Structure 1
Amino acid sequence: MQELPTLTVSMIGAPGSGKSTYLHALYATMTRGVGNCNLHEVTNNADVQILESWHDLGQGTSLPQTSVKPISYRFVFSREMNPSALLDWTDFRGGALHDFVGVDGSLDTQTLLNKISLSQAIFVTLDGEHFRKPVTPERREPLARAMVTHRISSVITETLTRRTARGLAWPSITILITKADLIDWGGGPGRTLTGVVDEVRNLLPVAFQPRVCTAVCPVTVGPLQTLPDGNVRPDGVDPNDVHLPLMFTMTHYYRTAAHLDDQHLGKLAAERGSLKERLAALPQSSRRAVRDQRLRLEQELRAVEVEIGHNQRRYDQSTQAISALAARLGNLRVFEGGSPARWAAGRRA
């Protein structure tokens, strides 16, 4: 397989918030394909394992809880059957986020924190059960504790400051409101998407600070009603909108790549201009020193032209992908620095 750029994706949230279930639903949906985009696992055995678990869920068997040994996946993202990125995605147990590290802590907690610091995309899962009713000021603090949003905020803050110090681009942040079917969208006050987004903003203000690009997406895998034996009703598996967070993640990735390529193209253009000026300034002379200098400058100019061509093609590919993917974001709410992102403006409800 060709060498692909790797995106590290981290998912954090409270235990039971639906991280593993969402991951299985996303993979099952994207293997079939959405909008000419697909996912597949690099390793055949991992592909079989995740799809068998999804099949078992559809037959009524609950997914096993993730243990202290994380499960790593390597998904290839393809658009129009052209592989474009490798997603390094690790499924951690819910408790790993707020355990101690060090000799008295958990090994998977340190691994999780390291992964997050390297991530180009962070998925935050918030249990939709907590949004059944409006998150009033009186309920906000108890719900923040239940959804561990204080800890999530600390981890995001540390990640952004670390990446700033290293001169790295910031990751996209996707806030998943899982089990969104539990919310009575047509019910009482505040049960519109706009109202829920405002509540999320109050719970996780760090995700809406300047320069942070964040999407808020309610998703559902279906009612998943629990039976007396602990399993779920087989007819309760019905994923909805699970692909949108991935579409946002990839759109943000391409936007970041295009921005970096555009900056580099500007530097290369300036370098090309300088080389041309230096060539034009050389005297018309047959002296060996002048000939050698002209030859060296011409070689440098050709190398710059080749690099410009490579970067321009990559930039064009990114902009084409941005146009195709952004059109599929639907009514996904995307914010840049806390304000609605103009490039992702969709329907409002």
Structure 2
Amino acid sequence: MSTPPKMTVTMLGAPGSGKTMFLHGMYAILSAGFEGYFLYTVDPDQDLDLMDAWDLLSDKGETPPPNDPEPVPYDFVLKDGLTPLVEIDLVDFRGGAALDRVAEGPDDVRVLRERLARSDSIYLVLDGANVGRTVASILASGQTGPAVLDRGQDSTQVARLMRFISDATQARTSRGQAAPSVVVLISKTDLLAQTSGVSRAEALAVVAKNLDRLASIATVKGVTAMVCPVSIGAFGTGDSDRVDPTALNPENVYHPMIFSLWHFLSEGQDEHALALRRDNARLSAAAEVVSERRGQLFGSWRHSTVISQNEQEMAALRERIAELKQTMSEEGRRAVTLMSALAGMPIIKDGEWQS
């Protein structure tokens, strides 16, 4: 592909949920390369900013500061080796941007809501410590069936955040676009066992069993979602701006972006197939016009202009059809490769667990 397509990714999360820390960890791992894939900022200076912040974390334990009201935009390019696959438009908003009222909050509240309506992938970031407390509450209640989310006791703010994902999905589908992919990103999963009272694996099993209540947007028809437990390191529950750098141990930070690209390319196949059908229909119509005009008495001479115009259109259509077929082949192959990189990750499509 000469010009890579652009994918818009938006993260939602309550203040302190770990969005910015995840972003830095994701970039540190993918910029170094993962199974032949590389993520870079378009602006080299931004690469230096991100890696300087990661060096401070890994060397001195200084965590990235919380975001100001002004959103931080990032333009990334994801490459397969040296080949650009997709440009990524990602903006890091402050945690409260998704929870404030438009009339009362800073301008980033309006910007975020408008952006969600054109997002190809949305990350719902949930603080693992709070998820663990929810798990503990479910286990303590002795519920045998799925839990019912109490919005009044929702420390993750997931119920409020899901409203915005639902609105964004409706906006896209009303325009004939596919629903955005959704990543239920559970950050700080090193804290799940500590706050839930059970092992991390057991806590995640409770989350999976109750996903249609805890993050129901991930289980509705028309949505493809992935549950991704993420950890940057075993830093404990403290809110200090300093952590133990020797505890740094990123886990699963690359999976969300790989999943977003897989879904983006997979949905793109449907759009390409539609364009291919349209172009083939136009090619057939133009060929029919040429054949009909030439079949008339002195047709090649009398209708030379019409015939020439249609033949030029046919040549352009054949070239575009060949390019579309090549693109579909390349993107289909990459989608299969990306799915293999997601092996073992819990993916839900149309409410059905895929793995």
- Whether 1:250 aligns to 2:250 is no
| Structure 1 unaligned blocks of 5 or more | none
Q: Runs of 4 or more off by more than 6 Å in structure 1?
A: 226-229
**What is the match of residue 333 of structure 1?**
346
**How far apart in 1 are the matches of 2:112 and 2:153?**
21
**What is the match of residue 293 of structure 1?**
306
**How far does residue 183 in structure 1 lie from its aligned partner after superposition?**
2.4
CA distance 1:297–1:3, change in 2 (3 Å): closer
- Whether 1:199 aligns to 2:199 is no
SS at match of 1:99: coil
**What is the match of residue 319 of structure 2?**
306
Do the aligned partners of 1:134 and 1:190 also contact (CA within 8 Å) in 2? no
**How far does residue 5 in structure 1 lie from its aligned partner after superposition?**
2.0
**What is the match of residue 114 of structure 1?**
114
**How far does residue 27 in structure 1 lie from its aligned partner after superposition?**
0.1
**How far does residue 285 in structure 1 lie from its aligned partner after superposition?**
3.4
**How far apart in 1 are the matches of 2:158 and 2:120?**
20
**How far apart in 2 are the matches of 1:144 and 1:22?**
25
**How far apart in 2 are the matches of 1:194 and 1:294?**
66
CA distance 1:306–1:228, change in 2 (3 Å): closer
CA distance 1:245–1:186, change in 2 (3 Å): farther
The one of 311, 316, 320 equivalent to 2:329 is 316
Do the aligned partners of 2:228 and 2:345 also contact (CA within 8 Å) in 1? yes
Residues 162-216 of structure 1 show CA distances to partners (whole Å, capped at 9, x for unaligned) of: 1122222221111101111222399469816443222333112122111111111
**How far apart in 1 are the matches of 2:152 and 2:21?**
21
**How far does residue 269 in structure 1 lie from its aligned partner after superposition?**
2.0
Residues 287-337 of structure 1 show CA distances to partners (whole Å, capped at 9, x for unaligned) of: 432333332332222121111012111111110110111110021111111
**How far apart in 2 are the matches of 1:340 and 1:277?**
48
**How far apart in 1 are the matches of 2:153 and 2:33?**
36
Partner amino acid, structure 1, of 2:307: R
**How far apart in 2 are the matches of 1:26 and 1:34?**
11
**What is the match of residue 275 of structure 2?**
264
The one of 136, 139, 146 equivalent to 2:138 is 136
Structure 1, 134-143 or 115-124: larger mean CA deviation? 134-143
CA distance 1:272–1:83, change in 2 (3 Å): same
- Whether 1:46 aligns to 2:59 is no
Structure 1, 222-231 or 168-177: larger mean CA deviation? 222-231
The one of 161, 164, 171 equivalent to 1:155 is 164
CA distance 1:91–1:335, change in 2 (3 Å): same
Do the aligned partners of 2:218 and 2:348 also contact (CA within 8 Å) in 1? no
**How far apart in 2 are the matches of 1:338 and 1:326?**
19
SS at match of 1:327: helix
Structure 1, 70-79 or 23-32: larger mean CA deviation? 70-79
**How far apart in 1 are the matches of 2:188 and 2:337?**
28
**How far apart in 2 are the matches of 1:91 and 1:314?**
31
| Structure 2 unaligned blocks of 5 or more | 142-146
**How far does residue 108 in structure 1 lie from its aligned partner after superposition?**
1.4
